[in-house]
Amino acid sequence: MMADTLPRVAGKLTPNAPLAPLVWFKSGGTAEWLFEPRDAADLQQFLRDLDPAVPVMALGLGSNLIVRDGGVPGVVVRLGKAFAKVTLSADLTLDCGGGSSGILVSSTARDNGIAGLEFLRSIPGTVGGFVRMNGGAYGGEVKDVLTECDVVLRGGTMQTVSNTLLNYTYRHSNLPQGAIVVAARFKGRAGNSDDIQAEMDRISASREASQPLRSKTGGSTFKNPDGHKAWQLVDDAGCRGLTVGGAQVSEKHCNFLLNLGEATSADIEALGEEVRRRVRDRSGIELEWEIQRVGKT
């Protein structure tokens, strides 16, 4: 895809952009094109004028993602600073840009005396990602606090979608493929800022104690099957500490995979598949990936 076949943009368009620095695993290939739109209008116009056959993928903080070593064809859209603002929009409701982090959302909620959004502190990612995935942790899920979101569809039109239309289930929404979440409204309940901070501190300490946060990881690897904890199934199958190439199952939390330094994305994905095989052989349970795997091998 040559530059002159792409629509003009106000933001930044980079060919053959390395994606490894942008994802938590620090592995994987390049994006054929990386687009960082100046604002929602720039994104809309670009998608409207882009050949409909060109694949488009949104990238947030790259926490829950394996970018395969062959890279990602088409256009990867990354929402930058223009999409990372959080403001009080109505009573107990925050208007959050799709590129805002969970930490920014929960801190702004605290500053405005809004309780119920503390769990977002612990989700490594951006609003766009956890609205799509129904992100959750520590007793809260996005479906409990989202009122509506603004999405730009692959054809460039903007739509506001209410919570009920997303049909949220565990780690899933029915947002259409290629739709990019550019903003979302979250509503909490009245609370005391000190109590909210205390709950955020508790969540933070709990994560620190139980998860390998200082490592190159992708966060939670597999979904919890009904009635089971994924980490327990992985542990019971003897996979704690298991390695493939430069990738390892974390000894601290078995539902986390680590890049020990030089792992390829192929190593990481192969390790995940080996874990799935061993769990299936031992328990008959088919673990489902929670981490998204994109691009070409």
CB 155 within 8 A of CB 101: no
Which amino acid is located at 283 in the chain?
S
Distances (CA, A) of 217 to 105, 158, 161, 260: 23, 33, 32, 9
Q: What angle do CA 290, 163, 142 make, to 5 degrees?
A: 45
Active site residues: 171, 220, 290
CB 255 within 8 A of CB 220: yes
Q: How many Å apart are CA 111 and CA 106, to the nearest integer?
A: 9
